[in-house]
Structure 1
Amino acid sequence: MSMFKPSMLTLALVAAGVSSQSVYAAEEQAAQDDKKTAEVEVIEVKGFRASVVESINTKRFSAEVVESISAEDIGKLPDSSIAESIARLPGLTAQRLDGRASRVTVRGFGENESATTFNGREQVSISDNRGVEFDLYPSEIMSAVTVYKTPSASLEAEGIAGVINMQTVKPLSVAERVMQVNGQYEKTSFDKLNPDGNDDGFRGTFSYIDKFADDTIGVAFAYTTMTSPNQEKRWNAWGYPEFEVDGKQFSILGGAKPFVRSSTLERDSAMLVVQAAPSDKLDMTFDALYVDFKDEKILRGIEIPFAWGQGSIDGQYATVDPETGFVTSALTQGQRVVVRNDYEDRKADLTSFGFNAKYNLDDSWTLEFDASHSSVEREIWSLESYSGTGRGDARGVADSIGYAFTGSNTGAKFSHQLDYGDYDLIKIGGPLSWGWSSALNEKYGVVGTEYENQLQDGFINAPTIDDELNALKLAAKKVVESSFLSSVEFGLSYRDREKTKKSEGYFMTYGDFSYPNNPGVFSVPEQYRLGTANLDFIGMGNMIAYDSRAMVADGMYGLLAESLTNTSHATKSWTVGEEVTALFVQANIDAEIAGMPLKGNAGLRYVKTTQISDGNAFGTVDGKVVLSPTHVEHDYSHLLPSLNLSLALDDSQTLRFGVAKTISRPRLDEMNASVSATYNQTPDENGNYWKVEGGNPNLEPKEATGVDLSYENYFSAEGYFSAALFYKDLNEWIFDGNYTVDMSGVADPATGQIPANSTGSASGKVNGGGGDLWGYELSLALPFNMLHSSLEGFGLLASYTKVKSDIVDQKGNDYELPGLSDTIQSLTFYYENHGLQLRTSMRKRSDFKGDVYGLGFNTVQVDILGETIWDAQAGFDFADAGIESLAGLSVSFQVQNITEEPFTALSGTNALQVRDYQDYGRTYMLGFSYKF
């Protein structure tokens, strides 16, 4: 039973061609009211304004609290990156990774607390954990993205923050055949920072949509290719050690690793959708996505030890900030540095496909079947090549190096005496004693000699990820005759996911090294020399630049696995599997209260999870790593009720209420079964014989009960105002702690025997603690023609979000959620009329804790400063301008990061103690689109 009465505004939206599924019910009602429809003047908007209307209607007619972005045509989302588009939605923002928006935060929760789906199906990720890096997904093939801030029982994914659903086009819903070509030239504002880097690139898309067999079969295909450059000037600090003099506390720069980076993101993607509706009863859709992703980085810089180096610091040259005790400038004499020529390749292949069939058994029953597969294979090959004036700590020419912080948070500039661009002075060989490996010393026969632990001339990190998820779903929907309900739906789903990480590293030693015949440093062969890279931005001038990647490929280095003697790779190698069985029932509400339509849903979702973790218990014997396999199974279940209500106060005003219990599963690297293990013959104070450190396979999900209340006023086809309050009661969060572990069946690494006593005292992640998170959101879409007809085409999109939290760990200590910014703001001004399209956008967030890659690609949490990023786009559509000879052609020009906003992370509370300062410059894009 439908009591919805479409207003004049609603009918106008329908007449404008709004195609959101949420509006279908309104379309059916409008078709039955020919008289009203005839009275409405058709409002025709195109381009960006059409996508605004579509997004507003998805929000307006959804049963849940959602935000949405929509593309006017395939390949025409409002931004060049899907993550940038998502990051401008109310309550959402993104963390940049190598200058690109990648990890999305929803209402203060990081990427691991939200689920990502593709056409409603949960997706795997190329990261070590659950959080999706959105720069993997090309925006060119997406037709829309919907963010569910409140869940319903029928959603096939779980996340405390919400669910982000990316959608492809349904070809049978497209009115006519579409064949389109898009192209875009891209250039960075920095000239090449590395002689073998790129400062320009290109992306292109071909898309085709058509219908056949009397519109019963539809096909959509899109292929996109991209070569996108990115460049960075980066200051990076080792840390800031503290010391005491005469009872006063001081801190100083421990060392720095600044560099220039040139990277190229290459991505080839193919999308296919085949939809068949042979009768009114049956609708079948097959969709497939393949992404070949490669991110190649060239990094050159000079690693500069300071307080943690070998030089002596003369106090008479030091300057100290009297308020903080921070040494803002100093000079070290007798210092040796490491000249770095590094490369990194990050490769990933993503395959995703699914089949969905809906069958109308009769007028009241609809059956649904869905099957899907999602998998990704990721490889990282990160190469470090070291050179200097001599091998080891005390050989070669030393330098006098000074530093001075400028008073801002941009890092320090250095002074130096040596010429690091001189190939006769700077040669291949590790200038500091790194690589303390007994196996490496034995290989080259330097045990007990002056070259012991001085053979690391470089290093290769080579972790891999395999992630696979298969899913099945059976569901049914029954239309009911009721004054309160419109239908009831229920179903069963099953997901099977397995993620495997393998960690490995390799010591590099230059091939000409031999002891005692040839133990020194070596000139860079002429064929690998590339000139110099300029480091003036940190005051270090030019440094030698050579192709270390080609040298490794040509066998110029000897390699030795680090895992032979270093236990960290065993810690970081694991397999985690999850089998998730879910049952749901949901009643869809369609009622009337005091003459006002009430819509929504009430549901219950039961989720049972069986977790399987495989890894290694390991120790060292005579300096060598010894492994023993581990296998742990654990299961848990949850009941997740949800309620969404939408009360139409009148034709334009809506009051929403949502309440639900939600879960977020633990990070995969925290729940693995790889541990360092030591067996003791006598028990500890807890009566346990094993001492264990590492993952905790018995972790259970974080839980939250959330409440949402919002007011929405849709005052025009292109305009609305919304004010929302939200609150989440968090419990069973995850913190560092101690627990008891069962080591049954695990052999003692020292003896190879399985001990009789199997209990262990473990340290790692544990469930506990909790607290509250609350906030509010204000959002506005304002077409300026409401103010005056002369402003037709002008408009504004704006949002402001305030978030607060009060969370403690299991010991009562305060805790700050990663990804939480106190304030999030977005702003877009646009003009679109007579073919001319102008748009400028801003997204702003306050300080937050974020995850970055540390040593060995470990995930490290750092304090990141807030940022304000401005982008702009101008375009011209010749058909909309009335130029028929060029109909189908449109051109555009974009500038990203107009104000050159840096990425800045601190070490501690002192603004001068910068951990990272990354300057990406601007990016320019010139593009065209032609629709045949």
Structure 2
Amino acid sequence: MMNFKPSKVTLALLSSGFMALSTSALAQEAAEGENKVEEKAVEVIKVTGLRRSLALSQAVKMSSSSVVEAISAEDIGKLPDASIAESIARLPGITAQRLNGRANVVSIRGLSPDFTTATLNGREQVSVGDNRGVEFDQYPSELLGGVVIYKTPDASLMSQGIGGTVDMQTIRPLSYGKQAFAVGLRYEENDLGALNAGSSDSGERGSFSYIDQFADNTIGVAIGYAHMSSPNQEERWEAWGYPELDDGNQVLGGAKPYVRSSELERDGWMGVVEFQPNDRFHTIVDVYYSDFKETQLLRGIEIPLAWSGAQLQPGYTAENGLVTAGQYNDVMAVMRNDINIRDSEVTSLGWNLEYVLDDNWTVEADLSYSKAERVDFGLESYSGTGRGSGVGASDNIGFELTGDGGAVFSPGLDYSDSDLMKIGAPLSWGNGQTIAGDAQDGFINRPSIEDELKAIRLSAERVMDSGFISSIEFGVNYSEREKSKDNSGDYLTLNNYPDLMTVPDEYLLSPTSLDFIGMGDMLSYDSWALYKDGYYTETSEGLTVSSRATDSWLVKEEVTTAYVQINLDTEWQEMPISGNFGVQVVSTDQSSTGNGVKIEDGLVVATELSGGDKYTEVLPSLNLNFEVAEEQMLRLGISRTLARARMDQMNAGIGYDYDTNLAGSDDLNNSPWTGKGGNPELQPWLAKQYDLSYEYYLGDEGYISVAGFYKDLENYIFNEYSVYDFSDVPVSGDNPTLLQGLVEQPKNGNGGNLHGIEMTLSLTGGMFTDVLEGFGMVISGAITDSKVKENADSDPLALPGLSKKVLNATVYYENSGFEARVSSRYRSEFIGEVTGRSLSRNQRLVKGELVVDAQLGYDFSESNFDSLDGLSIQLQVNNLTDEPFTTYENKDARQVKDHQVYGRNFMLGMNYKF
């Protein structure tokens, strides 16, 4: 219930239809307030652009019964940033991790994406990733009207998370109330240029949106389409690691630097049909579909050093325990001409029906379906001077560490010489069983994901005629989710093995420059065409490597949530008080199927394993809002929340070893059985949350807020050793004395706490003087810390996704149609999840970063050219300062593991609305 009285500016904005999202309570309040304001006064008020977006977002925040943050579109198909992930990352206490230069997943209040739930129009969404964290770049910002982030839950919020809930919202055509058509076009270019032959440094984006009403405004339709073909370039340094020498110094063990050129193609569709024939019945159908394809060209040279037959020469330079310069002799480098293709689809359907029985009772039904499919294809093609380790010309390479940028090399060979460099295996990476040790001429990774979620919700609300209780809500939600992963990989061997192959002229490309790390040019060819034309023979890695089978799994969940919520609206000593208290009872039945895998005579033997568990949790919540003074709100939130465990950790698969030499042992610590795997009986993370927020609103376009939170984590998930029963696993030879062994699995262990403070300042220059009219700024900061231990004697863990310091700032100017803004987002170092070997996901320490974007624009609606009314143009620069993405090892910033430079993306575009 909104206590603040809507002003004329807020009413004008609301009446224009841009709050026609899912904030129906606010829209209803505004409609009641609008009748009390003279129509003429509302008509003369016009707020546009970013100021409109900020004012609408502030109105959502003011009206909410929970602690929320919000983003609202500046206009149809026009959110403040190029992607929805970047927009979310500008909100207080929220950060984004970049993937290939673009914001991808978000962390709320220092908790990783595993603790955050994403919904579309209030319905939980599946993900194309390996776990639950939604990759927000799948959702075109042009198709969304806004986003609301719930930092504190209430009982009616079906999809909760310990971090929070991100609810993306599409337009509601009947609430919008008028016909509109909008078109947007953008041209995009990356300033690094096309780093790989066959790539492009330019792309385009286009979108259109159509909203209309029919049959005396009883039927509403909204349709949107967004297309993106976006370039992305990268110069990347990647170290193998830093082993220790005999003298105690650590040294570069090897490197895999390369340049990457990507093209992201995304087509998104949104459709809404709304029907409201009278005041009692209302139904709405939402359809969303996104097809996302990314093609990456990667060319570089793997340089084996300490972990190879190369020799570090005497006379190297060491500083504070790290070798910073030296030379390796007899280096056998491997040139890589790789291509990665990811194809993913997301489909979301929703149908809501609401019927008003009488003045007091309303019933509602909601059905939803969400599905995500992802297929990866990662092709590696190798070339060098000879087949197998120690064969062919070697190189003497000098190196010097350069800080964040990794290392610069001084090679002796010309790696672009097609007479010297041949296609084939320069090193003996083959398994020596199903293929010869020198027969791995390339590799293919083929992981795939399928995620499906069905849900139905039935609820009712009883409005109370008097007293401090305004209404009572209750209902039940039932959902079924099924997610599976299939992970396969194949060795590639040239058909003419053991001969090497000179690159045929029709596949030969211009050399690729690796000057950024001093390696000069390298041989480049079209490996994708070579593969398609049948130059390679494929052999499954899964025949000999157990991780392929153990990383293939199926997880199912059936969740029933019953809830009751009592909404409050009263006064105490003339102080308005609103809010709610309620409880959810969540019952879960989870199961998983995986593979039990062992190696016999060098080959994989797999048997199907399954397991699961059932649990019920009670989640109470309380939200109280005190209007302590005019335009000042104090909010209190207390709740118990859960976040379900990662699905890859719920995998029933186990990779195990059986030692026949220990078959007679009766000592569990010396059992013949050992293993490592997932745990289908994992319980969810649970936390008690305490939130206190003070908000002081300075009119319609400014506010100051300070919020503190404390999360008491009841448990956390750690890898631990536990007793596992192997009685169903067949063995060859004599039966073992022990049928149990110690297996490393994720387990629910001790918890800890997470706490922090957030501050936001949103001001306009007109608040101080007319001279500064049009200027404004939004600044927010957060300081977060945690204390989670595996046991009482261990050191506190660094939680994934937690940046202790976060700062976001936007400074803007809007006047007479001219728009200019500069936005920045800073986060200190954190543990992030990045792509590792065989497209796996690994955790790394990520260096703090400051990303700056800028935008200039002009809206011709503010000009005297009537023929250009509705037209606006924008020039946007993303990553203005070319901020790199850097990870490092051993808590030593000099030991750079990964350093990625993306360049700047320039976009020139126009929007036209009529």
Fold shared by both chains (TM-score > 0.5): yes
Note the 1:497-896 alignment, pairs <5 A. Answer: 497-513=481-497, 519-678=498-657, 680=663, 682-685=665-668, 690-743=673-726, 746-748=728-730, 750=732, 759-810=740-791, 812-813=793-794, 814-896=796-878
- Separation in structure 2 between the aligned mates of residue 196 and residue 41 of structure 1, nearest angstrom: 55
For residues 305-361 of structure 1, give each alpha carbon's deviation from its aligned partner in whole angstroms, at most 9, with x where no partner exists.
111121222112x1111xx22110110111110000000001101111110011111
Deviation at 1:650, TM superposition (A): 2.5
Q: 2:421 aligns with which of 426, 441, 458?
A: 426
Q: Indicate conservation of the 8 Å contact 2:665/2:738, yes or no.
A: no
Deviations 1:498-528 (A, max 9, x none): 1100011000011111xxxxx2321011111
1:74-132 Cα shifts (integer Å, max 9, x gaps): 31000111100000001101000010000101010011111000110111111100111
Question: Contact (CA 8 Å) 1:6, 1:29: kept in 2 or not?
Answer: no
Gaps of 5+ in 2: none
Distance in 2, matches of 1:861 and 1:722, equals: 34
SS of 1:273's equivalent in the other structure is strand
Partners of 1:405 and 1:677 lie apart in 2 by 40
Match of 1:92 in 2: 94
* Contact 2:10 2:56 (8 Å CA) reproduced: no
Residue identity opposite 2:593 in structure 1: D
| 1:282 alignment partner in structure 2 | 281
Amino acid paired to 2:384: G
Instruction: Measure, in 1, the Cα distance between the counterparts of 2:31 and 2:858.
Output: 35
Q: Distance in 1 between matches of 2:172 and 2:491?
A: 51
Q: Secondary structure at the match of 2:52?
A: helix
- Shift in Å at residue 692 of structure 1? 3.1
Question: Post-superposition shift, 1:889?
Answer: 1.1
1:467 to 436, 444, 451: 451
How far the C-alpha of 1:30 sits from its partner, in A, is: 1.8
Cα contact 1:657–1:709 (8 A) shared by 2: yes
Q: Deviations over 1:619-670 (max 9, x none)?
A: 1221111111111121111100011111112231101000111111111111
Change (3 A) 1:930 1:529: same
Q: Distance in 1 between matches of 2:767 and 2:12?
A: 16
- Aligned mates of 2:414, 2:370 — CA distance in 1: 52
Residues 10 and 26 in structure 1, CA contact (< 8 A), matched pair in contact too: no
CA contact (8 A) 2:2 2:63 kept: no
One-letter amino acid of the counterpart of residue 413, structure 2: L
Aligned match for 1:401, one of 393, 397, 402: 397
1:412 partnered with 2:412: no
C-alpha deviations, 1:250-302, integer Å up to 9, x for none?
Answer: 10000000000000010011111101101111110101111111011000000
The alignment status of 1:344 with 2:340, answered yes or no, reads yes
Match of 1:489 in 2: 473
SS at match of 1:75: coil
Q: Which amino acid aligns with 1:632?
A: G
In structure 2, C-alpha distance between the alignment counterparts of 1:897 and 1:206, rounded to whole Å: 26
Confirm or deny: 8 A CA contact 1:689 1:761 kept in the other structure: no
Q: Which of 872, 876, 889 is matched with 1:907 structurally?
A: 889
Q: Is contact 2:666–2:737 with CA below 8 Å preserved after alignment?
A: no
Which residue in the other structure is 1:449 paired with? none
Q: Tell me the secondary structure at the aligned position of residue 649 of structure 1.
A: strand
CA contact (8 A) 2:644 2:683 kept: yes
Conserved? CA contact 2:664–2:736, under 8 Å: no
Assess, with a 3 A threshold, how the Cα gap between structure 1 residues 572 and 18 changes in structure 2: closer, same or farther: closer
Partners of 1:784 and 1:395 lie apart in 2 by 71
Q: What letter corresponds to residue 717 of structure 2 in structure 1? A: I
Conserved? CA contact 1:384–1:459, under 8 Å: yes
Secondary structure of the 1:345 match is strand
Task: Tell me if structure 1 keeps the 8 A contact 2:668–2:741.
Answer: no
The answer as to whether partners of 1:16 and 1:43 remain within 8 angstroms in 2 is no
Residue of structure 2 in register with 1:388 after alignment? 384
Give 2:903's aligned residue.
921
Q: Provide Cα deviations, 1:788-846, integer angstroms capped at 9, x if missing partner.
A: 11222111111010001111114642211101001100000111121111111000010
Q: How well do the aligned residues superpose, as a CA RMSD in angstroms? A: 2.0
Aligned length: 906
Where 1:23 maps in the other structure, the secondary structure is: helix
Offset of 1:716 from its aligned partner?
Answer: 1.4
TM (norm. structure 1) is: 0.95
Residue 748 (structure 1) shift? 2.2
Deviation at 1:34, TM superposition (A): 5.2
Q: Distance in 2 between matches of 1:811 and 1:2?
A: 46
Letter in 1 for 2:872: S
Does 2:129 align with 1:107? no
One-letter code aligned to 1:785: G
Query: Which AA in structure 1 matches 2:779?
Result: A
Hey, what's the Cα distance between the residues in 2 that align with 1:344 and 1:529? 19
1:372 is aligned to 2:368: yes
Distance 1:381 1:258, change over 3 A: same
Distance in 1 separating the partners of 2:15 and 2:72 = 18
**d(CA) in 2 for partners of 1:579 and 1:267?**
32
Q: Tell me the TM-score normalized by structure 2.
A: 0.96
Per-residue CA shift, 1:162-221, capped at 9, x if unaligned? Answer: 000001001111131111111110000011100111100011012111100110001111
Report the Cα distance in structure 2 between the residues aligned to 1:74 and 1:43, rounded to whole angstroms. Answer: 19
Q: Distance in 2 between matches of 1:583 and 1:865?
A: 43
Counterpart Cα distance in 2 of 1:400 and 1:124: 51
> Residues 466 and 763 (structure 1 numbering): CA distance in 2 closer, same or farther, change over 3 Å?
same
Q: Is the 8 A contact 1:748 1:755 kept in 2?
A: no
Q: Which residue of 2 aligns with 1:182?
A: 184
CA distance in 1 between partners of 2:379 and 2:544 (Å): 20
Equivalent residue number for residue 224 of structure 2: 222
Aligned letter for 1:927? G
> Is the Cα–Cα contact under 8 Å of residues 628 and 749 in structure 1 kept in the other structure?
no
Amino acid at match of 1:619: K
Whole-Å separation in 2 of the counterparts to 1:505 and 1:404: 35
Inter-CA distance 8–230: structure 2 relative to 1 (3 Å threshold): closer
Give the Cα separation in 2 of the matches to 1:3 and 1:794. 29
CA displacement 1:50-77 (0-9 Å, x = unmatched):
1111000100100010000011333100
Is 1:361 aligned to 2:357, yes or no?
yes
Q: Distance in 2 between matches of 1:208 and 1:40?
A: 26
* Mapped contact 1:618–1:749 kept (Cα < 8 A): no
Map of 1:228-377 to 2, 5 A cutoff? 228-245=230-247, 249-316=248-315, 318-321=316-319, 324-377=320-373
Amino acid in the other structure paired with 2:681: N
SS of 1:821's equivalent in the other structure is coil
The verdict on how the C-alpha distance between 1:635 and 1:364 changes in structure 2, with shifts beyond 3 A counting, is: same
Q: How many Å separate the matches in 1 of 2:904 and 2:4?
A: 49
Q: Aligned partners of 2:269 and 2:719: how far apart in 1?
A: 43
Unmatched tracts of structure 1, length 5 or more: 442-452, 514-518
What is the alpha-carbon distance in structure 1 between the residues aligned to residue 329 and residue 576 of structure 2?
79
The residue identity in structure 2 corresponding to 1:723 is: V
> Quick one: distance in 1 between partners of 2:17 and 2:552?
52
| Superposition deviation, residue 911 in structure 1 | 2.0
